[in-house]
């Protein structure tokens, strides 16, 4: 009996030790092989040159001097925030700084794209344009299933025209055919109403064509050429789409849509508002519409996609508003990106890589005149800078703020290899933080001013306290205080972990002096104060 009890105790202690080791940030995971960036073909560099030249022509015409190239750590931070919604970890920064200068940005882009966090994050961002942020009808809509499917498609780098075709034209159940959630989210079963043709037409026009055709839903548009009949004709492609026990199906019947002004049905002939020659004459209605939307001859589709990709990386679109792009007269840079997108098979990965390789993305957020980036004037810069001579300052989105906060508190990378309990705790903390911080909803590229509750949440919130308090196992601040070889090194690591840069000489001297001659609890408290100051700085909450 005693032997079995001893064996049981040994197993329990061993399991506990393994759990602590797995949870501890001091536990080192096996190092990953550092791969070289995927070779870029020669024509990729040529496309980058054309993009840079198009933006350079604007600067030359306006006699504007471009900003110098940003430090590589700043470029890496921008890419990480854009593709994964978080800042790089200290471990990733060490990997980054080990790369050759000539290929470091390309390596970092490939590193991020291969990480499942990127497809998960981009799927959530794109889903906002496709299905909104609301829960939708519970019985026939599964948003989480939809986002998960979308992440799988992005991770596989499915050609974007094929992805959009699935959204528009797929039949079946919303569980086994997740793309149909694009359709079912518009239904209102509690009112015995199926998929809404008007709402679907508006979503297609805005998300995939960059056109606010729904502004003509009730009457002809007063300032643009869109007519109410054009909107109703586009909605007609969804008029025969119904939901049944077998899921989404297109059935024969009258092609009628609701006149939003009179709330009465009106018969329509499905038609498109422009590029009529691209519309197939035969086939199911939604399949015809999908083939028209994604046609290589329909320039609106590629331009809208390129504009959204630009917005994802910069925090603001090349043409504003993002869903109101002129059919004619777009900036040359947007036309170059759109043409390249079509020529290379609607490769979203290439499109994002092309933008990330541009001078506009890699330039500093400060001009040669050293623009003051204090928060009061940063608000003005966010609203007025549109010449791309500097990287535009934009306020971080809620999930980017909390993602950066959580990562800054961990020296290793928080990713899909992290312990399940860490990932579970992160998900709970992130959801709770966003709930109180506030979500911008579908209109995610509209300028957002900081609110007093947001500032208070960062200054006094429970999550900030938990992630900076004295805790050797879970918090980077305590580990740095205990393990850094010098005061200056402690300050440097804290800056890298929180702001993805090294401190200036003045910053290093100031904070090293605060840590000098401190030991034990006092030293950990001072490091906690430094961490609190860094995550509450303006720099932490802005992309730059």
φ, ψ (nearest 5 deg) of residue 446: -75, 135
- pLDDT reported for residue 445: 77
Local structure of residue 67 (DSSP, 8 states) = P
Helix (H, G, I), strand (E, B) or coil at 304: helix
Q: Which helix (H) or strand (E) holds 353?
A: helix 348-356
- pLDDT reported for residue 181: 96
- Residue 11 pLDDT greater than 60, yes or no: no
- Residue 282 pLDDT greater than 60, yes or no: yes
- Residue 20 pLDDT greater than 80, yes or no: no
Percent of the chain with pLDDT strictly greater than 90: 61
φ, ψ (nearest 5 deg) of residue 523: -65, -40
- pLDDT reported for residue 298: 96
Residues 6+ apart with CB under 8 A from 390: 66, 67, 363, 364, 365, 366, 367, 371
Angle between helices 285-293 and 197-209 (to 10 degrees): 20
- Residue 499 pLDDT greater than 90, yes or no: yes
Long-range contacts of 164-167 (CB under 8 A, 24+ apart): 164/208, 164/290, 164/293, 164/294, 164/301, 165/290, 165/291, 165/293, 165/294, 167/130
CB atoms within 10 A of CB 59: 16
- Residue 121 pLDDT greater than 70, yes or no: yes
What is the rounded distance in angstroms from the CA atom of residue 57 to the CA atom of residue 59?
5
φ, ψ (nearest 5 deg) of residue 69: -65, 140
Alpha-helical (H) ranges within 262-331 are 285-293, 299-314
C-alpha closest to that of 186 among 254, 236, 250, 140 = 140
Residues 6+ apart with CB under 8 A from 42: none
Average pLDDT over residues 447-476: 75
Average pLDDT over residues 416-424: 66
Is residue 131 exposed (0-12), middle (13-18) or buried (19+ Cβ within 10 Å)?
A: buried
- pLDDT reported for residue 387: 76
φ, ψ (nearest 5 deg) of residue 67: -75, 155
Helix (H, G, I), strand (E, B) or coil at 466: helix
- pLDDT reported for residue 113: 96
Task: List the single range of 36-50, 232-246, 319-333, 425-439 with lowest mean pLDDT.
Answer: 425-439
Question: In 382-400, which positions are buried (b, 16+ CB within 10 angstroms) versus exposed (e)?
Answer: beebeebbbbbbbbbbbbb
pLDDT tens per residue, range 361-375: 999 998 755 544 434
Cα distances (Å, whole numbers) of residue 449 to 186, 345, 541: 31, 39, 12
Cα distances (Å, whole numbers) of residue 95 to 35, 104, 105, 413, 483: 11, 10, 12, 11, 20
What is the rounded distance in angstroms from the CA atom of residue 332 to the CA atom of residue 351?
16
Q: How confident is the model at residue 381 (pLDDT cuts 50, 70, 90)?
A: very low
Percent of the chain with pLDDT strictly greater than 70: 84
Average pLDDT over residues 209-225: 79
What's the whole-number average pLDDT of the chain?
Answer: 85
What is the rounded distance in angstroms from the CA atom of residue 378 to the CA atom of residue 392?
9
The residue that leads in pLDDT, 136 or 99, is 99
Angle between helices 116-131 and 72-84 (to 10 degrees): 50
What is the rounded distance in angstroms from the CA atom of residue 196 to the CA atom of residue 453?
37
For the chain, how long is the longest CA-to-CA vector? 89
Residues 6+ apart with CB under 8 A from 161: 294, 301, 346
DSSP string, 258-277: EETTTTEEEE-----SS-GG
C-alpha closest to that of 224 among 282, 258, 294, 274 = 274
- Residue 129 pLDDT greater than 50, yes or no: yes
What is the rounded distance in angstroms from the CA atom of residue 305 to the CA atom of residue 492?
40
- pLDDT reported for residue 144: 93
Cis peptide bond N-terminal to 321, omega within 30: yes
pLDDT tens per residue, range 132-163: 988 888 889 999 999 999 999 999 999 999 99
- pLDDT reported for residue 495: 97
């Amino acid at each position: 009996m005693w032997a079995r009890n001893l064996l049981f105790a040994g197993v329990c202690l061993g399991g506990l030790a393994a759990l602590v080791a797995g949870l501890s940030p001091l536990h080192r995971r096996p190092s990953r092989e550092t791969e070289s960036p995927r070779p870029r073909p020669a024509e990729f560099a040529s496309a980058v040159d054309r993009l840079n030249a198009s933006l350079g022509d604007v600067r030359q015409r306006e006699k504007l001097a471009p900003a110098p190239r940003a430090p590589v750590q700043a470029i890496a931070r921008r890419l990480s925030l854009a593709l994964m919604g978080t800042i790089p970890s200290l471990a990733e920064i060490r990997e980054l700084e080990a790369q050759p200068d000539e290929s470091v940005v390309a390596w970092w882009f490939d590193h991020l794209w291969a990480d499942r966090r990127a497809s998960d994050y981009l799927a959530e961002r794109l889903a906002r344009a496709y299905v909104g942020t609301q829960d939708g009808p519970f019985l026939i809509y599964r948003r989480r299933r939809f986002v998960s499917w979308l992440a799988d498609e992005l991770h596989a780098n499915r050609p974007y025209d094929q992805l959009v075709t699935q959204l528009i034209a797929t039949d079946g159940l919303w569980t086994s055919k997740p793309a149909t959630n694009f359709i079912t989210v518009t239904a209102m079963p509690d009112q015995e109403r199926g998929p809404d043709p008007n709402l679907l037409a508006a979503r297609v026009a805005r998300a995939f064509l960059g056109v606010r055709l729904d502004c003509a839903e009730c009457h002809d548009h007063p300032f643009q050429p869109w007519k109410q009949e054009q909107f109703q004709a586009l909605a007609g492609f969804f008029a025969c789409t119904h939901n049944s026990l077998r899921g989404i199906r297109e059935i024969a019947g009258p092609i009628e849509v609701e006149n939003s002004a009179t709330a009465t049905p009106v018969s329509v002939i499905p038609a498109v508002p422009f590029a009529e020659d691209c519309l197939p004459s035969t086939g199911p209605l939604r399949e015809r519409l999908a083939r028209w939307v994604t046609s290589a001859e329909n320039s609106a589709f590629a331009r809208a996609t390129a504009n959204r990709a630009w917005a994802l990386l910069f925090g603001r679109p090349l043409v504003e508003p993002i869903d109101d792009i002129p059919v004619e007269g777009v900036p040359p840079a947007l036309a170059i990106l759109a043409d390249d997108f079509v020529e290379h098979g609607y490769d979203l990965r290439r499109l994002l890589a092309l933008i990330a390789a541009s001078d506009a993305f890699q330039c500093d957020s400060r001009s040669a005149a050293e623009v003051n980036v204090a928060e009061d004037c940063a608000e003005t810069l966010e609203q007025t800078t549109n010449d791309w001579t500097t990287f535009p300052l934009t306020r971080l989105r809620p999930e980017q703020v909390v993602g950066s906060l959580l990562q800054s508190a961990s020296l290793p990378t928080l990713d899909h290899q992290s312990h399940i309990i860490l990932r579970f705790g992160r998900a709970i903390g992130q959801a709770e933080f966003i709930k109180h911080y506030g979500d911008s909803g579908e209109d995610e590229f509209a300028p957002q001013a900081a609110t007093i509750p947001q500032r208070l949440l960062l200054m006094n919130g429970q999550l900030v306290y938990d992630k900076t308090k004295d805790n050797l196992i879970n918090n980077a601040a305590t580990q740095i205080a205990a393990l850094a070889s010098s005061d200056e090194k402690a300050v440097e690591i804290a800056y890298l972990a929180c702001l993805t840069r090294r401190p200036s000489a003045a910053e290093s001297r100031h904070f090293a002096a605060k840590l000098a001659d401190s030991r034990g609890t006092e030293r950990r408290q001072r490091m906690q104060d430094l961490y609190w100051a860094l995550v509450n700085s303006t720099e932490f909450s802005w992309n730059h």
